[in-house]
Structure 1
Amino acid sequence: LVRDVDEALQMALLGEVLAMMGILALTSYTIMM
Structure 2
Amino acid sequence: MNLPLELDVDPSAFKIMCKKQEKMSLFFNP
Shorter-chain TM-score category?
0.5 to 0.7
User: Any unmatched runs of 5+ in structure 1?
Assistant: 24-33
**TM-score of the superposition, structure 2-length normalised?**
0.65
Q: Which runs of 5+ in 2 are unaligned?
A: 1-8
Larger proportion of helix: 1
**TM-score, length of structure 1 as denominator length:** 0.60
- Identity within the alignment, %: 5
Equivalenced residues, count: 22
* Structure 1 residue runs of 4 or more that deviate by more than 3 Å after TM superposition: none
